[in-house]
Amino acid sequence: MANLLIVAADENLVFLFRHVFGEHEIRSARDAPEAVEAVHTQRPDLVVMDVRGPGTEDLDALRAIRLASPDQLIIVMTAYGTAQIAVEAIKHGAHDYLFKPFDVGQLRQLVAEALEIAAQRSAARLPLPAVERPAPAGMIGASPAMQEVYRTIGKVAPSDLTVLITGESGTGKELVARMIHEHSRRADKPFLALNCAAIPEPLLESELFGYERGAFTGALHRKLGKLEVCNGGTLFLDEIGDMSPALQTKMLRVLQDGTFERIGGTETMDVDVRILAATNRNLVELMREGRFRDDLYYRLKVVPIHVPPLRERGDDLVLLARHFLQRARDELQRPGLSLSNAALEVLKAYSWPGNVRELENVIKGAALTCPGVIILPEHLAVTAPRGTGRTGPDPAAAGTAAKETLQKLLEPVFAYFHDLYQAGQRVEPFDRIEEVMLRKALAAVEGNQSHAAKLLGITRTTLRKRMAKYGIVVRQQVE
């Protein structure tokens, strides 16, 4: 029998734990002070803690427990499925976390694993890494594949280890690098990024190492390279697979002993720079072809992080689409902007070869080109979805589905008119429905009458006549 402490303001969670873990001794605490007290007096084998979101005091409780009792094992549960919480939790020493909703089997397994570790640790007395301070984060996504990425970021950020970030183009490799930096002890020092594919070879060399005056024609002053400029900080080498063999050799030396010479210089410079590298190319293949040094490869991939393609992230697509839509609303100051269900279906069916960057651009483009406030499939600049040659849902099937939905939706409306009729009142159901449709259509296209007419499938003249009939006035649209 183990001793579990549940930290949760929600009584139901405590109840669930008592029920699921009947074989263990379950204690509970409602907030940070109670939790710290309980950890101190009861020495639980495992703490399971509910974190309701960033900016709540729940994360403070986690920090407080770790400060008071650095090797306490803690599992965090959160309904707030973001990278922020996940990375914070791991960084502050949580052993692992669970995104709600979870199934009981998952919970049982995680708790069993943690208790196993607790047993081993109490035998060996292994200390955990020290508590770090919090930092901002900005990755969206809660899919299992991304949770794995957050876990690794949380674990590796506080160290000075070199990280090799792989993944297709646009998956967020640079964002991962920034997050590692922001959660490291170097967070208040510079983070610089250098794209090895975008810069021609001689320029890349001087960008990295700098040069002395007179090193080559045109070198009129001494120039410091990025390695010196970001001393104490983090240097992110993007597309490292494109670096020339000569530069690879120089970088290997930097990685091994932190030294280099400026171009044309004799003085050996000593720097303390953490290197993070990324590539969307297959380095193993490049090694086989003799175009990438294997010693550099092994030195770089001390910690590998693979960022999964968007098509493997399930519902993250919807979260990301909403996130970019919100950004477009703010930037374009169009608070009413929204995605139609049909448009969302198109996004879901597409295979996203350009990953998150492509999604970001598609949403931005749609927000700019859509005349009204509702983004429709035709505003989305995506090519054929996976497998099929079409760009949207099957119109015939969509028609049938719409009819069924409409039938259901209109049932209460029909019942209402029926009641009025039986009560002997005069009813005009078609007019009432038409009026509502007209008003909705005009609102959706911000009062633009020619768009409203198109949306409703009637001519502008008909639209105007019917607006007059129902006394609908819209403010003049400034074209």
Q: Which residues in this chain contact Mg ion in the complex, by CB under 5 A? A: 174, 238
> Which segment (85-93, 117-125, 136-144, 401-409) binds ligand ATP by CB under 6 A?
136-144
| Selected range binding ligand ATP among 36-44, 155-163, 169-177, 470-478, rule: CB under 6 A | 169-177
Binding segment toward ligand ATP, per CB under 6 A, in 88-96, 134-142, 247-255, 331-339: 134-142
- Tokens at 88, concatenated: 């914070």
Cβ closest to Mg ion, residue 51 vs residue 230: 230
Q: Which residues of 387-417 are buried (b: 16+ CB within 10 A; e: fewer)?
A: eeeeebbeeeeeeeeeeeeeeeeeeeeeeeb
Residue number with CB closer to ligand ATP (72 or 84): 84
Segment (H or E) for 235? strand 234-238
391 binds, among Mg ion, ligand ATP, none (CB under 5 to 8 A by kind): none
Which span sits near ligand ATP by CB under 6 A: 139-147, 183-191, 201-209, 252-260?
Answer: 139-147
Among 24, 92, 173, 181, binds ligand ATP (CB under 6 A): 173
Calpha distance 222→37 (Å, rounded) = 59
CA distance 226 to 207: 6
Q: What is the dihedral of CA 6, 11, 12, 14, to 10 degrees?
A: 20
Residue, CB closest to ligand ATP: 172
Select from Mg ion, ligand ATP, none the partner in contact with residue 169, using the beta carbon and a kind-dependent cut-off of 5 to 8 Å: ligand ATP
| Residues with Cβ within 8 Å of residue 431, at least 6 apart in sequence | 470
C-alpha span between 344 and 318 (Å, rounded): 8
Query: How many chain residues bind ligand ATP (CB under 6 A)?
Result: 17
Residues 6+ apart with CB under 8 A from 207: 194, 199, 225, 226
The reply on whether position 140 binds ligand ATP by CB under 6 A is yes
Residue 439 binds: one of Mg ion, ligand ATP, none (C-beta under 5 to 8 A by kind): none
Which one, of 4, 95, 8, lies nearest residue 44 by Cα? 4
How far apart are alpha carbons 90 and 63 in whole angstroms? 11
The piece of 102-110, 267-275, 355-363, 422-430 that touches ligand ATP (CB under 6 A) is 355-363
What one-character DSSP code corresponds to residue 197?
A: T
Q: Which of 45, 132, 174, 182 binds ligand ATP (CB under 6 A)?
A: 174
Is 308 a binder of ligand ATP (CB under 6 A)?
no
Measured at CB, which residue is nearest to Mg ion? 174
DSSP assignment letter at 424: T
Q: From the list 223, 230, 360, 382, which residue makes contact with ligand ATP (rule: CB under 6 A)?
A: 360
Which member of 135, 175, 458, 472 binds ligand ATP (CB under 6 A)?
Answer: 175
Query: Is the CB of 154 or the CB of 372 nearer to ligand ATP?
Result: 154
Integer CA distances (angstroms), 8 to 29, 47, 49, 104, in order? 6, 11, 6, 17
Q: How far is the CB of 79 from Mg ion (least distance, A)?
A: 31
| Cα gap 403→407, rounded to integer Å | 6
CB 79, CB 102: distance < 8 Å = no
- Among Mg ion, ligand ATP, none, the one that 280 touches (CB under a kind-dependent 5 to 8 A) is ligand ATP
User: Would you count residue 242 as binding ligand ATP (CB under 6 A)?
Assistant: no
Using the minimum distance from each CB to Mg ion, give the nearer residue, 247 or 278.
278
Dihedral over alpha carbons 384, 388, 389, 394 (to 10 degrees): -100
Q: Which long-range contacts (C-beta less than 8 Å, at least 24 apart) are formed by 8-16?
A: 8/49, 8/50, 9/50, 9/52, 10/50, 13/50, 13/77
Residue 167 binding: pick among ligand ATP, Mg ion, none (C-beta 5-8 Å cut-off by kind): ligand ATP
Looking at the Cβ atoms of 223 and 226, the one nearer to ligand ATP is 226
- Considering beta carbons, is residue 76 or 196 the nearer one to ligand ATP? 196
CB contact at 8 A, 242 and 196 = yes
From the list 31-39, 123-131, 137-145, 429-437, the region that binds ligand ATP by CB under 6 A is 137-145
Beta strands in 371-462 (DSSP E): 374-375
Q: Does 167 bind ligand ATP (CB under 6 A)?
A: yes
By CB under 6 A, residue 172 contacts ligand ATP: yes
Site string for ligand ATP, 273-292 (x = CB under 6 A): -------x------------
- Alpha-carbon Rg of the chain, whole angstroms? 30
Residue 356 found at the interface with ligand ATP (CB under 6 A): yes
Going from the C-alpha of 275 to that of each of 87, 164, 271, 279, the distances in angstroms are 20, 9, 11, 13
Which option in ligand ATP, Mg ion, none does residue 139 bind, with CB closer than 5 to 8 A by kind?
ligand ATP
Tell me the closest approach of the beta carbon of residue 195 to ligand ATP, in angstroms.
Answer: 7
The counts of H helices and E strands in the chain are 19, 16
- Give min distance, CB of 278 to ligand ATP, in A: 6
Per-residue DSSP letter, 263: B
Residues lying near ligand ATP in the complex (CB under 6 A) are found at 139-141, 167, 169-175, 238, 280, 320, 356-357, 360
